[in-house]
Structure 1
Amino acid sequence: MAFTWCVRRSASRLASLCSTRMVRLRSISAVASRPSLAPTPSPFRPFALYSTAIDWMSSEQSLLRVIDSEINTALQIDDPDLDEETAPGSFPFKIEDNPGHQTVTLTREYKGEHIKVVVSMPSFDSDENDDEDDEDGHSNGSSIPLVVTVTKKSGLSLEFSCMAFPDEIAIDALSVCNQGSTLEDKLANEGPDFECLDENLKKTFYKYLEIRGVKASTTNFLHQYMMRKVKREYLLWLKNVKKFMEES
């Protein structure tokens, strides 16, 4: 009797426990299935993504159209390329011009000397008084920075920092350099302000450069050459930007 009573009691407790768990599971299922608690996708989200994509494509296409217009305009400018063959008959230098670089290098040999001229992009004077001369007597307009280096076989060299104006050259500084000289060494050997030198000494240095090919006819040609290089580099830059924009 006692054993039968224990079995019945255990079965009753097990049935009660199972019933309680089933009620809890039904409650959880009912709560989870309520419409108010289920995540509702926004009907505007796909439209927002589509609108953003359209704006992006429109911006890309607009930029490409402007770039194409600029490229076509640049190509319509009839500027024949210049080189040593189109230079004046007295132009003695070999031109080294690498696309994408902002400088051009001229080289030549003269009586055992190696002469190198590094020509930078022209700068433009935007002064309102274009017809007036500056304080040094140079006419306003475009100018080209030049660094002329004359090197002896021993490696010793003279370095002239110049500015080329239409029909004239102005020496700004002069330094004596050894092969492998650092910038500090060059500054230490720069010497006095060129404008403070004796007039005869200054004229002699200008004549020194002229004999080696750095003269007005050379720099006038370089003005034309560098102006064309400005356009070529701009066109190259536009094409590179377009290539980037077209890549997916």
Structure 2
Amino acid sequence: MLSVRNFARSAPRAVARLSTAALRQSVARPSTFVKASSLSALRPAQASFSTTVFRRAADAETDEELSAKLESELQIEEDMKTSEQEPASIKDFLNNSAFKLIDTPGQEVVKLERDFGDEKITISFSIADITNYDPYAEDSALEEEGLEDDAVQGGNGQRKGRAAEEDIDEELEEELEDENAAPINLSIVVEKPGKTVGALNIDATAQDGNIVVENLFYYDDAKVAKVESPEAAQKRADVYPGPPFGSLDDDLQVLMERFLEERGITQALAVFVPDYVDVKEQREYTRWLSNVKAFIDA
């Protein structure tokens, strides 16, 4: 869904850029940056100080154009929001899960919290994982490598390279409609308030309907596990992290996965998180556009 949305965003922007470029070419504007030698040739020997440039700058000629562009971007997002339906996985999870959603407008990080017996469980994830995600990075690297190999082989290789490039482009277009969601990192903290000040911190990934555990940490102080301050982050960096989860005994890995499933870290969560992050990213982007436009228009 993310790539389809980005494609839909980029298409109107490309048209807008072409229109803007054509408009700018039709209206001859003086260059803002003029060489000093040119100014010297045009300037009288003892010219009086002029405030013309400053008056023009004070007029803020770009504001109106920028505001219109922001309004255009907002309209694109609103149109996309109208044409898309919120994934059913979001409503299903929130209605049937013991987790409480904590989503602060304007913040990247989202949290899920619940009690499980004497335990308090907090799951944190961020929309930054999809804003920084490039689903075609690996494909592009493979494509470039293939083209380099073909170039070495000569004319036949160049023809093969072009054919391979066309095939890759077709595959990317097909995948655009049905692409795997970006992997979303989960920070799972399990505490036992009143029993111990320590906490478990499990680093995992939600992708393709699966939860993949990557690391398991133990901290003597739950505040360190949550990393809610620079001091806690420094203390966390100094703690022995333990071995990679995949290197643990197989039975231990299975039992740890069952431990998480009993606490609601299930396939339903793995489906919910990427879908919710995608929806929140659009909501935050729209909020950002509105805030910037309001500032420009003030």
Structure 1: runs of 5+ lacking an equivalent = 1-38, 132-138
Q: Which residue is equivalent to 1:127?
A: 137
Q: What SS does structure 2 have at the residue aligned with 1:214?
A: coil
After superposition, residues 146-161 of structure 1 pair within 5 angstroms as 146-153=186-193, 154=195, 155-161=197-203
* RCO higher in structure (CA 8 A, sep ≥6): 2
Retained in 2: the 8 A contact 1:175–1:187? Answer: no
Partners in 1 of 2:71 and 2:238 — Cα distance?
47
Shift of 1:127: 2.7
Letter in structure 1 aligned against 2:64: Q
Q: Which residue is equivalent to 2:17?
A: none
Retained in 1: the 8 A contact 2:90–2:275? Answer: no
Letter in structure 2 aligned against 1:160: I
Retained in 1: the 8 A contact 2:191–2:199? Answer: yes
Letter in structure 1 aligned against 2:63: E
Shift of 1:92: 2.0
Q: Which residue is equivalent to 1:209?
A: 260
Could you say if the C-alpha distance between residues 47 and 221 of structure 1 is closer, same or farther in structure 2, counting changes exceeding 3 Å?
same
Partners in 2 of 1:194 and 1:175 — Cα distance?
10
Retained in 1: the 8 A contact 2:110–2:126? Answer: yes
Q: Which residue is equivalent to 2:116?
A: 110
After superposition, residues 1-248 of structure 1 pair within 5 angstroms as 45=50, 51-52=56-57, 56-57=60-61, 59-76=62-79, 77-78=81-82, 79=84, 86-88=91-93, 90-121=96-127, 122-123=129-130, 124=133, 125-129=135-139, 141-153=181-193, 154=195, 155-179=197-221, 180-181=223-224, 182-183=232-233, 184-185=235-236, 187-247=238-298
Retained in 2: the 8 A contact 1:113–1:152? Answer: yes
Retained in 2: the 8 A contact 1:166–1:216? Answer: no
Shift of 1:244: 1.4
Larger Rg belongs to: 1
Letter in structure 2 aligned against 1:71: L
Q: What SS does structure 1 have at the residue aligned with 2:137?
A: coil
Query: Residue deviations 1:88-112, cap 9 Å, x none?
Result: 3542210000001001110001111
Give the TM-score normalised by structure 2. 0.58
Could you say if the C-alpha distance between residues 51 and 204 of structure 1 is closer, same or farther in structure 2, counting changes exceeding 3 Å?
same
Partners in 2 of 1:113 and 1:186 — Cα distance?
25
Q: What SS does structure 2 have at the residue aligned with 1:210?
A: helix
Could you say if the C-alpha distance between residues 84 and 106 of structure 1 is closer, same or farther in structure 2, counting changes exceeding 3 Å?
farther
Could you say if the C-alpha distance between residues 115 and 96 of structure 1 is closer, same or farther in structure 2, counting changes exceeding 3 Å?
same
Partners in 2 of 1:83 and 1:96 — Cα distance?
19
How many pairs are equivalent? Answer: 198
Could you say if the C-alpha distance between residues 246 and 114 of structure 1 is closer, same or farther in structure 2, counting changes exceeding 3 Å?
same
Q: Which residue is equivalent to 1:11?
A: none
Identity over the aligned pairs, expressed in percent?
24
Partners in 2 of 1:170 and 1:214 — Cα distance?
10
Shift of 1:80: 5.6
Query: Residue deviations 1:60-95, cap 9 Å, x none?
Result: 111111000011111122256689981335422100
Shift of 1:198: 1.4
Could you say if the C-alpha distance between residues 239 and 51 of structure 1 is closer, same or farther in structure 2, counting changes exceeding 3 Å?
same
Structure 2: runs of 5+ lacking an equivalent = 1-45, 141-170, 172-178, 225-231
Q: Which residue is equivalent to 1:16?
A: none
Partners in 1 of 2:251 and 2:237 — Cα distance?
24
Give the TM-score normalised by structure 1. 0.69
